[in-house]
Chains A and B, each alone.
Chain A
Amino acid sequence: MSRPLPVLAELRRRIRHLEGTHPDPADGRGPAVLPFGVAAIDRHLPGGGLALGRLHEIAGGDATTTDGAAATLFAAGILARLGGPVLWILAGHDLFAPALAQVGLAPERVIYVEAGEEKTVLLALEEGLRHAGLAGVVGEAARLPMKASRRLQLAAEGSGVTALVLRRFGQSSASGTSANGDDGASGELLQPSAATTRWRISALPSAPLPDIPPTVPGIGRARWRVELVRCRGGEGAAWTMEACDAQGCLAPDRLAVPARLADRPAAPAGSQQHLAAAG
């Protein structure tokens, strides 16, 4: 029998539905997506973009404060492109609103909630996800237990509001070395979670600018290593991207100089590189 039975197709569709994964090209069900506008990433994500009304985790590359900042901007860029009001649930006091405006997230769109405690962050996240009027909710949390992530995922699916959890590990460890080594960023992101995608954003040296005489060269557009660590219904991958612009859009790395490519394993499609699919 060459053609699958309709029963089988229906079962497959229902399994996909249960798994909360991605649109069946045939019936178009599954979540709407927000494309990144970068072919390399969108091609890789099931559905052609970041699934809306789902939970996504974003973390910095390691436990240093700087990568936390890159991850924050990555999240802000996504929210900026979502349009509509956004609830930003803060754990600390260091988020600087003018920088959000510079990646396209205008101040009138953001309602901040000072949650303080981790538990309160998750509680406020869930409450925010219950209200369909929002475009997105982002919460800053160091830990995201499996149970909490599942609750958030369900709440996001119920209301269609996109949930981002910004994992900030480096907050307390000022020196950049977390107290119990393995429990750092990379370890945490391998813990199970119900999130649809998990991202790791690390800062890279910025694109070199043409050298003009002063003793120190100027700074170009920031570049990030964008890693899709886990993706439901897809595979992990990593790219080098130029950081969010004033509209919150990433751009493919224009200056992928051969020297940079050389110290990586073969990267067939541009600067794309596959990791082992996790889950």
Chain B
Amino acid sequence: MLAAADAPARRLGLAPGLPLADARLRAPGLAVAEADPAADIAGLERLAAWCLRRYSPIVWLDAGGGGGEGGNEGVASGDGLGLDVTGCTHAFTSEWALLADLVGRLGAAGISARAAIATTPAAAEALARFAPEAITAPDPPLAPEAERALLDALPVAALRLAPETLDGLARLGFATIGDLARTPRGPLTLRFGAAPLRRLDQAAGRIGTPLRPFVPAELVQAGRAFAEPIGTPEALAHAIATLTGRLCARLAALGAGARRLDLLFHGIDGRVQAVRVGLAQAARDAPRLARLLAERLEGVDPGHGIERMTLLAARREALHPAQAAALIDGGGGKEDGGKEDGIAALIDALANRLGAGRLYRAAPVESDIPERSVARIGPLAPTPSPAPASGGKGSAGKPAWPAAWPRPIRLLARPEPIETIGLLPDHPPRQFTWRGIRRKVVRADGPERIFGEWWQSEAETATLRDYFQVEDEAGGRFWLFRSGNGEDPRSGSQRWYLHGIFA
């Protein structure tokens, strides 16, 4: 029997469930590999672990589509993954960009995947498996009604019901989910049991879908089940403190520290919510980690109560004993180690509140074009030490900002065109108008000629800018440039721009 078929095989009419002899008859020369469900599951788990690292703290293995176990607690047959991407899109522009990234990366690894995003796990699964064509980056994003319409057009099989139920529904003429949704509920339940309507409600979000998040066995974790579901912030914070303490003890035994923590909240209604906290440096300082997690509690809706919490060190790194010792000092130590850790704690606190991309340091880049001369690096990344040499380039070959040429403290995001009155091509203008104010140039320095970078683009080869620092009567200093050398039209538009403000 065929267990699975790839896309070319499906085009030949081969489908799972077909006896192998029939298949060989239809397609002589068929390449057949022995099914290995255990290896499939293992591969899927590796993928799930990768998704956990890259995309979302909540990933689950999806029960297979073909067989259908009637319920959703079936054994995974190894061909689907679910991700809860709620609030996980900060590294991407949108959820759909995340999806495109995921499918693209899978494709690059030789895995063809069908994927969809929907408001509920059941709907997303149905769309991913049964949508007639892949939904990629709809514009504008799918409204809930549009999602309903798509869902209603899918075959009933997309609800993953038991085969006998599907047969029965087909005999009664139910073809699509929409048909089922429009039918009175009572008779349907009498005839087919609760399963069809339960799946329908799960897809529509009327009831929650119980999930079993995938937790890689090798992750350090601490879990706790509560006899009574808890929901108050105080109780949750207390539980967090207990869990971080246990997690840190386990990390200490491994000589490791956490770089990322995932805290999963299992609600009694089966919903799972997650809080993900990143750390700039590996840490296993329980009170500090607990504080970071507790700060994120406001994003968690306890609903009817939380019955279980799992804390995972989703990423861990070896933590040097010296670092650990400094951590125990609480960052208040007098030596440098303590100070660095104090800053790491601050960066974590700010990054988790504002988003990690909002914290950075500036590093010199080997470029004379002012707007390209600054690179953003991580807040704790080692900076190539800039040794400003008078020539502009660092002596040791490291990039450095020019020390001899003045640079404005405020650089406009885009140079703004200005109206100028000037005399000679080699001189700065005598007067210029910027943002509606006319300023008379009293003093000026320049030009500093900056050439286009031919290695960046063909068009830049001949271009240049002549920068002048000019001062108006009131002492305001501005950074002006003329695009071009004043003569040759190939060197630029010969227009004047204001690019920055000194003081």
A residues sitting closer than 8 Å to B (CB atoms) are 64-70, 72-73, 76, 85, 87, 93-102, 106-108, 110-116, 120, 123-124, 127-128, 130-134, 174-176, 202-206, 209, 214-220, 222-224, 243, 246
Contact = CB atoms under 8 A, between A and B. Distances in A.
Q: Is the interface of B mostly helix, strand, loop or mixed?
A: mixed
Contacts, number: 190
Given A112-B360, A112-B362, A134-B343, A102 B350 contact: no
A176 B433 CA distance: 13
Interface in B355-377: 358-364, 370, 373-374
B503 A111 contact: no
Interface in B31-49: none
B209 to A, nearest CB: 36
Interface string B473-501: 11111100000000000000000000011
Contacts of B345: 131
B332 A132 contact: yes
18 contacts: A69-B477, A93-B413, A96-B374, A96-B409, A101-B386, A111-B343, A111-B361, A113-B354, A134-B343, A205-B471, A214-B427, A215-B423, A215-B424, A217-B443, A218-B445, A219-B444, A219-B470, A219-B471
A69 B501 contact: yes
A163 to B, nearest CB: 14
A108 B385 CA distance: 7
A202 B49 CA distance: 58
Nearest to A202: B475
Interface centre among B347, B361, B388 (most CB of A within 10 A): B361
B358 A115 contact: yes
Nearest to A159: B342
Given A85-B343, A204-B475, A218 B361 contact: no
Interface stretch (B153-161, B225-233, B306-314, B399-407): B399-407
B411 A96 contact: yes
B79 interface: no
A111 B332 CA distance: 20
Contacts of B386: 101, 106-107
A108 B428 contact: no
Contact of A107 (B361, B424, B445): B361
A96 B503 contact: no
B427 A216 contact: yes
Contact of B388 (A101, A134, A223, A224): A101
Contacts of A175: 435-437
Contacts of A223: 475
B27 interface: no
A178 to B, nearest CB: 14
Nearest to A71: B503
- Nearest 5 Cβ contacts at the A-B interface: A133-B342, A97-B362, A66-B476, A108-B383, A96-B411
B343 A97 contact: no
B443 A102 contact: no
Given A65-B501, A110-B362, A133-B340, A94 B413 contact: yes
B335 to A, nearest CB: 12
B222 interface: no
A85 B349 CA distance: 17
A98 B477 contact: no
A113 B358 contact: yes
Contact of B443 (A123, A130, A216): A216
